[in-house]
Structure 1
């Protein structure tokens, strides 16, 4: 039981608090060291997620596909067709004249106007065959339900439309071409109330390609790896030219995307390792925060968190390795050496710390004249060494290997994930900082127990003093009363 100043008139709680403030200095230092370690670990996680995100982009780049990609350019009667170069297309020119489009077969039957049930058409329960589909119905079924069955059937291969006002049923093939619609069953053959009023067999498209007349059952077909879709017939005296060539735009966009991602990653890493460290701004204690405004706490902690990774060895090595890798030659299988500068990609001045710039005109010229070299420069892979890049690795693979090595170092140091780009991903339990934080927690817990004992001891001492003074006062009071 604590007795607070009843006999002495002293503010015991205040005195103990002041005494404990001095005792808590070692605990405050431990908490500050723990907080600094946590902030540093968070800084490592920011770097780690950035590198993982960069590696994900590098994996998504298919430079060999970009090199192989083709584009189809249409001139002349451009409204007649559209064209798309597939992966099988080669550099070529197609002169196309469309004489007629492919059309679909159609047949129309007329029945009783206003009919709503199959029985109104003079038929009973039966089944009919449309295409390869067997459609069953009852005399009491509605005509709409019969039409719905036809349209739901993929094997029927037709689109059915019914007009109840005229009693007409239209069946149109889903495919174009000269093949007629196959219809079997008494409904289509012997019903007096339901008769065929017209039938039109579809036709094939007639197209002249580089002087050769061809028939196509569909208005969309492929020639020499070029997918052509017909939209109309060619005006007299005109033609459409399709030129298939290297899709330089795709390659340029791939390279520009890489340079943008590289510059962004490098900028973030340079910012982390070059950020100013304010060592006088230590993490605030709970008591210090209690005496400050929120805005003051925010400003203080902004300074205290700054520079957690200043001149960090892992981050600095990552930056250095990437810059060296991009500046070095790539050796092609034939022994020829190529580099980024040959493709119009150079670094800025010294103050920009490795930022890349693209001369797009020079890049396009180099890609047009040396697509194979571009494939080697960016996409070449040396599988002999899975960990370290070699002179035979292309730019993409070099950066991926460097990033993977850095991610392993970060995981060992801070327990960061090597595969996640999510900033909320939990830290791995085993790491240097993780063990350091665990040690801080044990020391803090032990120190808190000791401080609790010290505080209790102070109160015991003051309580003993109060009890002694209380006894003295009682004795003095008794003596006084005897006089």
Structure 2
């Protein structure tokens, strides 16, 4: 039980609070150190998410339809369209279409109204028919119209069923063109006269003098997707020229330069951020005496510079710059570097920022697009974690980023694969262990402080009790003497 200065007239609570303020100084320092460690860990997470996002973009840039993009230009007869894929090679295809591919079909010989019941055309009553790979069950009161819907709703049938209200006839057509047959069985189909299948035909196409059969009017050859729209008029051909898509490649490289610059800017900002050592994390008591905007301003300075000159980030920056400026060795032994295609580094103050000369880049693409593509997208097939001279710029940077992500994972417990800033930290990291040690020390110190506070109150209570006893004795003596 605490006695609040009734006998002595002193403000015991205030005195204990003052005594405890001095005793809490070591605890405040522990909380500040813990808070600074948490801020530093959050800084690592910001950088790690940035590097993961950069890696994702590098993978996108490295696709053949981005850095080695091709385009197909069609001239001559307009009965053909073409689209080049990343697998296409620079080439010319001369195409003449002799005939288009058609699909197998079967048509009923007689016509019936769509509301006609199955029982009116088929004496067997309920039963089933087989169309392609599908078995379609029907009842005696099934209508022709509902039967058509059942067939179309079953994808395994492989056909499209059509009912013509004018003629009352029904047809099945293969969903795929070419000589693929339609398998049919069932008494109902026989009753409708659907027994004779008109076989489809393959398209006949002459490509660079070679006559080929294609089961579809849409097919791929040499990495080019070709669509046939009609037969070629006599004496004409369609010419497909596959070439490098210079505009798409320029767009990819420009985007890469922008992303790279944004990434190193984020790293440079963290490693060179001003450190305000006199601005320490605020305690709960300190925040209570401050306005919200004052707290925000104070903490912005207190958080600043947590990763100033950080070894992991400095190494990442150094490795990224080295990866960019070092020559890439091509399979034939020749080399190429970014300066040859119009990419240079800015001034010293810009700390590794890349500058792109689009005119020089386009000239390099026109002269040797494959070599430019290799500079960025070539991959060393070895299993080395560090990049090699055979790795293109994209793969080099991904390896640098991965090593940095691994280092931050071990130290701060950040994710190596997530770009989400809310991803939880791995508690078994070095900083995770340090934070748990702080938590244990803080818990122990809080226990000791609680004991000290209780001891102070116990001592003041004893003093109050003694004073009260003295006052009582003095009062008794005074009464006796009077």
Q: Deviations over 1:197-245 (max 9, x none)?
A: x998766656565577776553223445432212356678875432112
Cα deviation for residue 174 of structure 1 reads 2.8
* 1:14 partner SS: helix
* Structure 1 unaligned spans of 5+: none
Which residue of structure 1 lines up, in the alignment, with residue 148 of structure 2?
A: 147
Measured at CA, do residues 472 and 182 of structure 1 come closer, stay the same or move farther in structure 2, by a change above 3 Å? Answer: closer
Q: Deviations over 1:143-167 (max 9, x none)?
A: 2343244334556543223356764
> In structure 1, what is the Cα distance between the partners aligned to 2:427 and 2:99?
71
Does residue 1:274 correspond to 2:272, yes or no?
Answer: yes
Stretch of structure 1 that moved more, 255-264 or 88-97: 88-97
Measured at CA, do residues 471 and 219 of structure 1 come closer, stay the same or move farther in structure 2, by a change above 3 Å? Answer: same
Stretch of structure 1 that moved more, 446-455 or 90-99: 90-99
Measured at CA, do residues 229 and 429 of structure 1 come closer, stay the same or move farther in structure 2, by a change above 3 Å? Answer: same
> In structure 2, what is the Cα distance between the partners aligned to 1:171 and 1:335?
60
Measured at CA, do residues 461 and 147 of structure 1 come closer, stay the same or move farther in structure 2, by a change above 3 Å? Answer: same
Which residue of structure 2 lines up, in the alignment, with residue 94 of structure 1?
A: 93
> In structure 2, what is the Cα distance between the partners aligned to 1:174 and 1:155?
11
1:120-139 equivalences under 5 Å are 120-121=120-121, 123-125=123-125, 130=131, 137-139=138-140
Q: Deviations over 1:59-95 (max 9, x none)?
A: 45436676665321123455x3321234664333334
> Does the Cα contact within 8 Å between 1:106 and 1:173 map onto a contact in 2?
no
* 2:282 partner SS: coil
1:449-468 equivalences under 5 Å are 449-468=447-466
> Does the Cα contact within 8 Å between 1:124 and 1:138 map onto a contact in 2?
no
Which residue of structure 2 lines up, in the alignment, with residue 418 of structure 1?
A: 416
Measured at CA, do residues 464 and 153 of structure 1 come closer, stay the same or move farther in structure 2, by a change above 3 Å? Answer: closer
* 1:426 partner SS: coil
* 1:242 partner SS: strand
> Does the Cα contact within 8 Å between 1:101 and 1:230 map onto a contact in 2?
yes
Which residue of structure 2 lines up, in the alignment, with residue 34 of structure 1?
A: 34
1:243-258 equivalences under 5 Å are 243-258=241-256
Compute the TM-score of the two structures, normalised by the length of structure 1: 0.85
Q: Deviations over 1:433-468 (max 9, x none)?
A: 334333322332332223222222221222222122
Cα deviation for residue 117 of structure 1 reads 0.8
Measured at CA, do residues 293 and 238 of structure 1 come closer, stay the same or move farther in structure 2, by a change above 3 Å? Answer: farther
Stretch of structure 1 that moved more, 114-123 or 318-327: 114-123
* 2:418 partner SS: coil
Which residue of structure 2 lines up, in the alignment, with residue 231 of structure 1?
A: 229
Compute the TM-score of the two structures, normalised by the length of structure 2: 0.85
Q: How many residues align?
A: 478
Does residue 1:346 correspond to 2:344, yes or no?
Answer: yes
Which residue of structure 2 lines up, in the alignment, with residue 118 of structure 1?
A: 118
Measured at CA, do residues 185 and 407 of structure 1 come closer, stay the same or move farther in structure 2, by a change above 3 Å? Answer: closer
* 2:387 partner SS: coil
Which residue of structure 2 lines up, in the alignment, with residue 51 of structure 1?
A: 51
> In structure 2, what is the Cα distance between the partners aligned to 1:398 and 1:36?
33
Which residue of structure 2 lines up, in the alignment, with residue 171 of structure 1?
A: 172
> In structure 2, what is the Cα distance between the partners aligned to 1:433 and 1:391?
35
Measured at CA, do residues 337 and 451 of structure 1 come closer, stay the same or move farther in structure 2, by a change above 3 Å? Answer: same
Cα deviation for residue 35 of structure 1 reads 0.9
Cα deviation for residue 281 of structure 1 reads 1.4
Which residue of structure 1 lines up, in the alignment, with residue 82 of structure 2?
A: 83
1:284-299 equivalences under 5 Å are 284-299=282-297
Which residue of structure 2 lines up, in the alignment, with residue 62 of structure 1?
A: 62
Measured at CA, do residues 4 and 361 of structure 1 come closer, stay the same or move farther in structure 2, by a change above 3 Å? Answer: same
> Does the Cα contact within 8 Å between 2:20 and 2:453 map onto a contact in 1?
yes
> Does the Cα contact within 8 Å between 2:271 and 2:314 map onto a contact in 1?
yes
> In structure 1, what is the Cα distance between the partners aligned to 2:456 and 2:133?
98
Stretch of structure 1 that moved more, 150-159 or 415-424: 150-159
Measured at CA, do residues 32 and 11 of structure 1 come closer, stay the same or move farther in structure 2, by a change above 3 Å? Answer: same
Cα deviation for residue 305 of structure 1 reads 0.7
* 2:175 partner SS: strand
* 2:83 partner SS: strand
Stretch of structure 1 that moved more, 261-270 or 180-189: 180-189
> In structure 2, what is the Cα distance between the partners aligned to 1:458 and 1:184?
100
> In structure 1, what is the Cα distance between the partners aligned to 2:210 and 2:374?
40
Cα deviation for residue 119 of structure 1 reads 1.8
1:208-223 equivalences under 5 Å are 218-223=216-221
Measured at CA, do residues 186 and 53 of structure 1 come closer, stay the same or move farther in structure 2, by a change above 3 Å? Answer: closer
> In structure 1, what is the Cα distance between the partners aligned to 2:156 and 2:15?
94
* Structure 2 unaligned spans of 5+: none
1:301-340 equivalences under 5 Å are 301-340=299-338
> In structure 1, what is the Cα distance between the partners aligned to 2:383 and 2:114?
80
> In structure 2, what is the Cα distance between the partners aligned to 1:403 and 1:275?
21
> In structure 1, what is the Cα distance between the partners aligned to 2:52 and 2:193?
70
Q: Deviations over 1:358-379 (max 9, x none)?
A: 2233223323433443354333
> In structure 2, what is the Cα distance between the partners aligned to 1:408 and 1:311?
19
